[in-house]
Amino acid sequence: MARILVMIPSGEVYDHDNVRWYRHADLASHINHYHNIGDAFVFDSSLKLLNFEKLDVLPIANPDMALIDRMNAEYDYVFLRGSNYVHAEMKWSQTADVLRRLKIPVIAFGIGAQAPVSGKLELSQDTKTVLRLMADSTASIGVRGAYSAEIMNEIGIKNVRVIGCPTAFRANNPNLAIKLPPLDSVKKVGITLRREVSPTYARNIKRYLTFHRDLVKTLAGRFDATLMAQGEIEEKKLALGTLEQKEEAIAALRKNEWATSWYLDAEMEQLYRSRMFYSDVVAEYEQLVRKLDLVLGYRLHGNLMALANGTPSIYFTYDSRTVEFADTFKIPSYDVFAGPDFKLEEYWDQALFDRFNATYAQVYTAMRDFLVENNIDTKMVGAPPVAKAAPPPPPEAERKVA
């Protein structure tokens, strides 16, 4: 099996292909640090699609070029964990210098572009260089959707494949299908939260937060609801912190102008205190979504984790990234800024999920074909075995003995 490198990991790996946050058991060391555990979902899911015997990290900050030379000899390929790298503010450290030194393929594993609310996406020359170096090293570069493919095309990268996100395929099941039970049988619902948002990407913050608040309250009044956070400090403290840290979190929210104006009323505060879930271990999120009847909300990877486990999910789209994901997989979705009042009954429609089911199978095949095209040894069902190079002939002396 392959010896592989990961570029920009998100968490520590245990038991071969499972991911949790660094020093996850030492909560005090990072409870005041924001990290999006959804990135760890992608890292964990990527590993679950690959056959490998050894994994290490490719350094891109202050790299030792002698080490890079050794990695060329000892490893088969690098993969860049899928994420939102293609935007105006991305900083790549010394990635371009490292990639110029590398002789092994660098696989872009479902990367994506983020469009601003207004104007055209302007990429730095460094971002363009890094993307072109990756594309030149492989048969194809994998992106999450059509918009990201369009951006690649604009900077001259033509060998692009739309492959969605590894999180969707973590179960390695090409026949995954969402089958809706009767709505009146739905009891347990997960609501994926994203309180923090940038006006660079979400065009109406007041609408975003007030709709978010009202959605949470409505669903919590109707179902046994779990609020699923993915890394904001205050939400993390309310889920896992001490009594003192929980009060610190509420005090911080009360001082936040956006939260006090449009989000945190008395009912929301009570729900935040009593219904919050957060974990630094990907497997614990997976265990949660398997127990739920429905997951819906703002978190791209939290929703996708549910779908990957056969749990119905509905997306609430508010930026180019969420729109692109919903479109790639044809996931039922509601536009936070354009839609009429949201009514769950209108989305509880098997025909909508059958559209997802059919598209899922197509994108699964695209992901599998992408890996095979790049000679990656994959666990994905249906993939033909990776061709192995013939071993070199024995030295002359050994041939004579034989």
Average pLDDT over residues 287-299: 98
What gap in Å lies between CA 294 and CA 304, rounded to an integer? 12
Percentage of the chain beyond pLDDT 90 is 92
Backbone angles phi, psi at 309, to 5 degrees: -105, 15
Q: Which CATH architecture has domain 183-351?
A: 3-Layer(aba) Sandwich (3.40)
Tokens of 313: 């999910």
The pLDDT value recorded for residue 238 is 98
Domains 2-172+360-373 and 183-351 share a fold: yes
Q: Return the exposure string of 339-368: e unless at least 16 CB atoms fall within 10 Å of the residue's CB, then b.
A: eeebebeebbeeebbeebbebbeebbebbb
- Predicted confidence (pLDDT) per residue in 323-372, tens digit: 999 999 999 999 999 878 999 999 999 999 999 999 999 999 999 999 99
User: Does residue 186 have a pLDDT over 80?
Assistant: yes
Q: What is the pLDDT of residue 312?
A: 98
Quote the pLDDT of residue 309: 98
Task: For 172-209, give the secondary structure using H, E and C.
Answer: CCCCCCCCCCCHHHCCEEEEECCCCCCCCCCCCHHHHH
118 pLDDT more than 90: no
Mean pLDDT of 164-176: 97
CA distances from 55 to 7, 23, 171, 258 (A): 11, 19, 20, 42
Taking the alpha carbons at both ends of the chain, their separation in whole angstroms is 28
What is the pLDDT of the chain when averaged over all its residues? Answer: 94
Q: Work out the burial of residue 294: count CB atoms within 10 Å of its CB; fewer than 13 is exposed, 13-18 middle, 19 or more buried.
A: buried
Q: In three state form, how does the secondary structure of 229-260 look?
A: CCCCHHHHHHHHCCHHHHHHHHHHHHHCHHHH
* SS3 of residue 168 by DSSP: helix
Amino acid at 173: N
Q: What per-residue confidence (pLDDT) applies to 385?
A: 52
Which residues is 4 bridged to in the sheet? 55, 77
Cα Rg of the chain, angstroms: 22
Specify whether the CB–CB gap between 308 and 169 falls below 8 A: yes
The pLDDT of 165-177, averaged and rounded, is 97
Asked if residue 215 has pLDDT above 90, the reply is yes
Tens of pLDDT, residues 146-162: 999 999 999 999 999 99
Q: What is the pLDDT of residue 201?
A: 87
Q: Can you tell me which residue has the tokens 């009060």?
A: 247
Cβ atoms of 124 and 157 within 8 Å: the answer is no
pTM: 0.93
Mean pLDDT for the stretch of residues 102-130: 96
Are 6 and 57 in contact by the 8 Å Cβ rule? The answer is yes
Return the residue matching tokens 């609430």: 316
Domain ranges of the chain: 2-172+360-373, 183-351
Looking at domain 2-172+360-373, its CATH class is: alpha beta
Which pair of tokens denotes residue 334?
């509601």
Alpha-carbon gap, residue 248 to 237, rounded angstroms: 8
pLDDT score for 85: 96
Q: What angle do CA 116, 119, 120 make, to 5 degrees?
A: 80
With bands split at pLDDT 50, 70 and 90, how would you rate the model's confidence at 399? Answer: very low
DSSP helix/strand/coil, 378: strand
Cα 367 to Cα 86: distance, rounded to the nearest angstrom: 20
